[in-house]
Structure 1
Amino acid sequence: MDVKLLKENRVHGDFQFPFGYYSMKYDNPSQMLDCHWHDEFEFLLMTSGCAVFRVGDLKYDIAKGQALFIKSGEIHSAYSNKGSWGFSAIVFSPSLLNSNPYDKIQNKYINEIIKKQSAYATLISGSEQWEKELLEHLKITIEIARKREYTYELLIKSHLYAIFSLILSNIKINTDISLMYKSDRLKPAIQYIQSNYKQKIYIDELSKMVHMSEGHFCRYFKKIVMKTPIEYLNHIRIIKACELLKNSDRKVIDIAMDVGFSSFSYFINIFKRCMKLTPAKYRKEHQT
């Protein structure tokens, strides 16, 4: 899954069947799922180990066999300090659930799911019977998506309907909805960094965008993104540098300057800290 930038621009599936399946495994506990968001729904099932997920302002300790329901636009990330960990995820447009706009299913259920999505609980722990049933449907859906055999689209949609039937019938209201979306305030600053990483970016400019003091902005940014604003800016620059190292023969110093670093030695230090190897070695290992 491409989670290197916070706002995903990728298409999950295609126009006719907007559904994607992904499996991730982190062998190094220092590796993390970078903070990001997307417009689609996501069900994420822990398949190994355990990890701490942040969804909005809320934190969840997720163990193998448990799942999260991540709604449209929710900022989320994850890390673990306890060895290897992994998960499988299905990401799909809410429109995949659509029925005939004039029938009872669309008006009574699907519109309700989309309209009130923020009220539904995020954690699916498996502690209650309906959650166990939901987790079983999710595991089956993931396996169907992995195999992609004939009629897999029909089967996936049928299990998604079963999942949302269980959610609607056993609704757990989020009591901290305001916390889920407080983090949305950071999105203008995050998107500004992504679009202007080549330029000098100042903390006071970012804090003004989100109407926070500089101190509060820096603390809150670190809490949600799990990197300081400068660390995140450097992270974006290094990711862009990696793309250029893989796909061009340009000099390393020119790449460093192009992605926004004014000091070549600083670029080398940051690159080694982020990627655990030098730019030259990265190019040698990844260039086709």
Structure 2
Amino acid sequence: MKAVLEDIPTSEHAAFATRRFFQAGWPFNWHLHPEHELTLVRQGTGRRYVGDHIEDFGPGDLVLLASNVPHTWQADVKAEPWCESIVAQFRDDALGPGFFDLPELAKVRDLLKAAQRGLRFPEAQAVASTLETLPDQSPPRRLLVLLDCLYELADRPWVSLASEPASPRLRPRDRSRIDTVSAYVQSHYAEPISLDEVAGLVHMSRTAFCRFFQRVMGRTFIQYLHELRVSQACRLLVETDLPIADVGFRVGFGNLANFNRVFKRLRGVTPSVVRRGGVGAAAGRA
């Protein structure tokens, strides 16, 4: 899907941008930029959108995106009001034309190519610890640390996110519509939500809205709503002792059978498995 072009500010004393964000929540901000991006979440939970992929994120989430991959991290402020991340953004020519074509950087070049779909690194705690120090380094040292992180990540297992390299096509008006729908669903997912209702929010007919949402988000609105409800259910299953039926009702499912069916389709296991401690099995699926 497509996104708004973001301009990344850089310093005249640095070849790339390194920033530490600490703020009260991250709103849905669907965007892209010509820089590659390495993001580490230190605090906060919510949903990460990369291309046509939606997945929960939490502390320790480490993701590499190639240039022009549309994305956003949307925080769940009800679960964790404050969010912190460390972000490094750099262009192919940040270190000079053809720098990543050097034979010594072949593994990094292949890594950046794979990152055209977005990559998540589930087993890179040492790299994450190193990345945490990046904003505090001097500019020359910062450069060496970034290259070291990329080189180390090239040898780590990764999970590809988007089903294919994204082809951005979103217009400003479409982005405004998605922002409106997303904000409404975030506030009302536990209530009955009809297609006619959300279509009315953006002044579209039901049929036109369904086509629009599928084109922009790469999935139907009902799929999007189910994914959000199931991600909230996972949190309640792990963090509370509420009966499973009550969990389903609290996140918007009208009956237990439908909750179990949708949950297993999206997560590969039933809610009872997650409740018994199979938390790892609750990882989101593309």
After TM superposition, the score normalised by the length of structure 1 is 0.52
Q: CA RMSD in A?
A: 3.5
In structure 1, runs of 5+ residues without a counterpart are 145-151, 195-212, 228-288
Per-residue CA deviations over 1:18-62 (Å, capped at 9, x if unaligned) read 3122333343x5x51411111111122222221211111112222
Conserved 8 A contact 2:53-2:163: no
- Distance, in Å, in 1 between the alignment partners of 2:92 and 2:28 is 23
Q: Could you say which residue in structure 2 is the equivalent of 1:141?
A: 134
Counterpart among 62, 71, 88 of residue 67 in structure 1: 62
Give the match for residue 103 of structure 2. Answer: 104
Q: What CA deviation, in whole Å up to 9, does each residue of 1:194-228 have, x standing for no partner?
A: 9xxxxxxxxxxxxxxxxxx844442236747xx9x
Q: Secondary structure of 2:18's partner?
A: strand
Structure 2 counterpart of 1:73, which letter? N
Q: State how 1:35-184 maps to structure 2 within 5 Å.
A: 35-79=30-74, 80=76, 81-86=78-83, 87-96=85-94, 103-106=102-105, 108-118=106-116, 122-125=119-122, 128=123, 131-144=124-137, 152-172=138-158, 174=160, 176-178=162-164, 180-181=165-166, 184=167
How far apart, CA to CA, are the structure 2 residues paired with 1:13 and 1:220?
A: 39
Asked whether the 8 Å contact 1:56–1:74 carries over to 2, the reply is yes
Question: Cα–Cα, structure 1 residues 110 and 66, in superposed 2: closer, same or farther, change >3 Å?
Answer: closer
The offset of 1:173, in angstroms, is 5.8
How far is the alpha carbon of 1:171 from its aligned partner? 4.7
- Partners of 1:113 and 1:7 in 2: how far apart? 23
Q: Secondary structure at the match of 2:160?
A: coil
1:72: how far off?
Answer: 0.9
Any idea what SS the aligned residue of 1:82 has? coil
Which of 6, 12, 32 does residue 10 from structure 2 map onto? 12
Structure with higher helix content? 1
Q: Cα gap change, 1:94/1:136 in structure 2, threshold over 3 Å: closer, same or farther?
A: farther
Q: Is the CA contact (8 Å cut-off) linking 2:28 and 2:73 kept in structure 1?
A: yes
Q: What's the counterpart of residue 226 of structure 2?
A: none
Corresponding letter in the other structure for 1:82: A
**How far is the alpha carbon of 1:97 from its aligned partner?**
5.1
Q: 1:101 to 1:136 in 2, by over 3 A?
A: closer
1:219 paired with 2:213, answer yes
Q: In 2, distance between residues paired with 1:193 and 1:34?
A: 9
Change in Cα spacing, 1:166 to 1:58, as seen in structure 2 (3 Å) is same
Find the residue that maps to 2:64 and give its secondary structure.
Answer: strand
* Matches of 1:156 and 1:11, distance apart in 2: 17
Q: Deviation at 1:159?
A: 1.3
Which segments of structure 1 move beyond 6 Å, counting only runs of 4 or more?
A: 191-194
Comparing both chains, which one has the higher relative contact order based on Cα–Cα distances under 8 Å and sequence gaps of 6 or more? 2
Q: Distance in 2 between matches of 1:60 and 1:167?
A: 21
TM-score of the pair, normalised by structure 2: 0.53
Q: Structure 1 vs Structure 2: percent identity of aligned residues?
A: 12
Q: Could you tell me whether the CA contact under 8 Å between 1:43 and 1:90 is conserved in 2?
A: yes
